[in-house]
């Protein structure tokens, strides 16, 4: 069985499909596991609720919201040792794995992990590596809004168009999806990786501190222990005000050391809370309209609104949606649980369990390269042009190539720069990697350079530049960005913490080969299913070509001819790209 995991900023969840039914992993009687890691005074590792309790008492030896730092080289010091974000996430995933195995009395070696749709390539790689560090073989990295769509609609028969509004603890994503005949197809996604409930809590803490200051004539420093305590109060208050119009804070707060605590009794209204909410909600609505525009969809065309993430439970959000769409968001599934359920369903689909849903995901980013333009005399007129190769909202997996040319025949090498973004000026986008091809041909006729970009089902990018005449090629190596290919040191760190020899449990090479084979076949089947839904939209020639490719691809799958499967899948992907 494949374990589905929602690795959240604030809370994480895990579930699995058993005998056609989804079952949650329970953590001390709760489906929610706080995404917090800490060490107590005896240097014992704590994960979850006990770690969260420790965080407010001893924040120096605790860490929360590590998801926001995934893909960076930020170090967090715990127990006098430095840890990378993926190592801390690996601890959380390892705890989830062990808890699931104990609860269901079986081994979980494989997982599907969800990430925000707007996560970058580095953040996705870091998430996959966190899974490996925890001892998993990561079958898929799936976008959170996509997972939620699966959970809400995996038995949906009629055709609908939906908004997936995912407002979590640390990130915000919004997607427009089509759902018909159990095909979940993401049309567009947009979001902000630094917009979430954590930001609301910090702003709410500021408001509560101001109210305390006015009533009790005292100042609370947000960086001191009282500030951490107040952040905990703000989070509790936010949750209560989502269900009640008023909440009374009754707490003893230690303002300064060696002084008596301040006895605080303060009533907060939902109206006061909503006064700080509007800028956050307005920002999410702006991003939602961008996603609608990208999908070429009007608000009146939306049939369903799916709320995802704990922050989406705030009543003001429901009110705003009813104003814009004249429909109330679906309340069939707890917003905290939908992403995790979708991950479990995706795992069951990969295992060919008796679930009919098909998933077609997209990339929320445009990827391209920097190029130069020349005048009629060969002089460079502009050397900062962005040339897109893969457009945002393209269906995954996808492979695209473009032809570029050397500036002059005897040019010995080229510098390839890869950017992520939508600005016409290359340097206005995010530089995500660069590399060189050297010892190029000096033949005047050999000027073509083919740049290929491949995005896999996990949204991870591979770039290859090839000199057409010689076949000389170079695959991208990311400079000054996320690199963590050797996880042996991380495995040893966790082995020491969990007091075992876990580092010996890396996936075997043979298993990795089988995994790649399974992935290629899964991708091929996914594209076949999507192609069949597009036959009526294609012109006669394209439809005939698609039918021929589908027939050939099904024969290749049956014979497990991997090279043919890969080639035919690429051909089918190219046709679908132009139809879409």
- DSSP class per residue in 64-115: E-GGGGTTS---EEETTEEE-HHHHHHHHHHHHHHHHHHHHTS---EEEEEE
| Cis-peptide, bond into residue 397, ω within 30° of zero | yes
Tokens 């006895």 belong to residue: 263
The verdict on pTM exceeding 0.75 is no
Reported as a pLDDT band with limits 50, 70 and 90, residue 579 is low
Cα gap 531→538, rounded to integer Å: 10
- Backbone angles phi and psi of 347, in degrees to 5: -60, -40
Reported as a pLDDT band with limits 50, 70 and 90, residue 420 is confident
Statement: residue 111 has pLDDT above 90? yes
In the structure encoding, which two tokens stand for residue 292, read together? Answer: 């609608």
SS3 35: coil
pLDDT above 90 coverage of the chain, percent? 29
pLDDT, residue 343, reads: 93
Cα gap 10→132, rounded to integer Å: 21
In sequence order, which ranges of 295-417 are alpha helices (DSSP H)? 315-325, 338-350
Cα gap 464→437, rounded to integer Å: 10
- Backbone angles phi and psi of 10, in degrees to 5: -95, -50
* Burial group, residue 164, by CB count within 10 angstroms (0-12, 13-18, 19+): buried
In the structure encoding, which two tokens stand for residue 371, read together? Answer: 């190029």
CB 60 within 8 A of CB 224: no
* Burial group, residue 463, by CB count within 10 angstroms (0-12, 13-18, 19+): buried
Cα gap 226→499, rounded to integer Å: 35
* 470 sits in which H/E element: none
Statement: residue 506 has pLDDT above 60? no
Least confident of 23-27, 87-91, 489-493, 505-509: 505-509
* 282 sits in which H/E element: helix 270-294
CB 116 within 8 A of CB 144: yes
Instruction: Tell how far CA 505 is from the center of its chain.
Output: 26
Reported as a pLDDT band with limits 50, 70 and 90, residue 518 is low
Tokens 């919004």 belong to residue: 174
């Amino acid at each position: 069985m494949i374990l589905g995991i929602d690795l959240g900023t604030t809370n994480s969840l895990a579930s699995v499909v058993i005998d056609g039914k989804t079952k949650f992993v329970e953590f001390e009687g709760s489906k929610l596991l706080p995404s917090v890691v800490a060490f107590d005074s005896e240097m014992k590792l704590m994960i979850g609720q006990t770690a969260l309790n420790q965080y407010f008492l001893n924040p120096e030896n605790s860490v929360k919201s590590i998801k926001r730092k995934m893909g960076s080289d930020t170090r967090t010091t715990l127990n006098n040792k430095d840890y990378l974000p993926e190592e801390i996430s690996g601890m959380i995933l390892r705890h989830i794995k062990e808890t699931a195995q104990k609860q269901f009395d079986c081994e979980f070696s494989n997982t599907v992990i969800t990430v925000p749709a707007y996560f970058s390539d580095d953040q996705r790689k870091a998430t996959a590596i966190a899974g490996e560090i925890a001892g998993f073989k990561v079958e898929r990295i799936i976008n959170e809004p996509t997972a939620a769509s699966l959970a809400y609609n995996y038995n949906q028969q009629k055709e609908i168009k939906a908004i997936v509004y995912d407002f979590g603890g640390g990130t915000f994503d919004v997607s427009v999806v089509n759902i018909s005949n159990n095909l979940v197809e993401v049309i567009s996604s947009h979001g902000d990786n630094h917009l979430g409930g954590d930001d609301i809590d910090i702003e709410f803490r500021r408001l509560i501190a101001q109210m305390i200051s006015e009533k009790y004539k005292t100042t609370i420093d947000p960086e001191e222990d009282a500030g951490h305590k107040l952040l905990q109060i703000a989070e509790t208050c936010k949750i209560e005000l989502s269900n009640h119009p008023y909440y009374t804070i009754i707490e003893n707060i230690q303002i300064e050391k060696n002084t008596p605590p301040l006895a605080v009794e303060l009533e907060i209204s939902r109206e006061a809370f909503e006064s700080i909410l509007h800028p956050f909600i307005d920002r999410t609505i702006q991003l939602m309209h961008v996603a609608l525009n990208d999908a070429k969809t009007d608000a009146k065309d939306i049939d369903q609104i799916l709320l995802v993430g704990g922050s989406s439970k705030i009543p003001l959000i429901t009110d705003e949606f009813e104003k814009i769409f004249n429909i109330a968001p679906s309340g069939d599934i707890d917003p905290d649980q939908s992403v995790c359920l979708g991950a479990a369903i995706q795992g069951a689909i990969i295992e060919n369990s008796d679930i009919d849903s098909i998933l077609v995901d997209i990339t929320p980013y445009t990827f391209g390269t920097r190029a130069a333009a020349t005048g009629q005399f060969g002089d460079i007129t502009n050397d900062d042009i962005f040339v897109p190769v893969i457009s945002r909202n393209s269906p995954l997996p996808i492979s695209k190539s473009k032809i570029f040319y050397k500036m002059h025949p005897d040019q010995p090498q080229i510098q390839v720069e890869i950017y992520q973004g939508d600005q016409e000026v290359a340097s206005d986008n995010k530089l995500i990697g660069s590399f060189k091809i050297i010892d190029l041909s000096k033949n005047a006729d050999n000027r073509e350079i083919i740049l290929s970009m491949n995005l896999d089902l996990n949204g991870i990018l591979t770039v290859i530049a090839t000199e057409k005449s010689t076949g000389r090629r170079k695959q991208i190596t990311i400079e000054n960005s996320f690199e963590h290919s050797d996880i042996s040191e991380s495995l040893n760190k966790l082995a020491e913490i969990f007091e075992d020899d876990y580092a010996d449990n890396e996936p075997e090479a043979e298993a990795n080969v089988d995994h790649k084979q399974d992935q290629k076949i899964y991708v091929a089947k996914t594209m076949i299913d999507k192609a069949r839904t597009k036959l009526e939209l294609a012109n006669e020639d394209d439809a005939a070509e698609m039918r021929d490719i589908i027939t050939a691809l099904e024969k290749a799958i049956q014979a497990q001819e991997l090279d043919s499967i890969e080639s035919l899948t690429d051909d089918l992907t190219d046709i679908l790209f132009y139809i879409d």
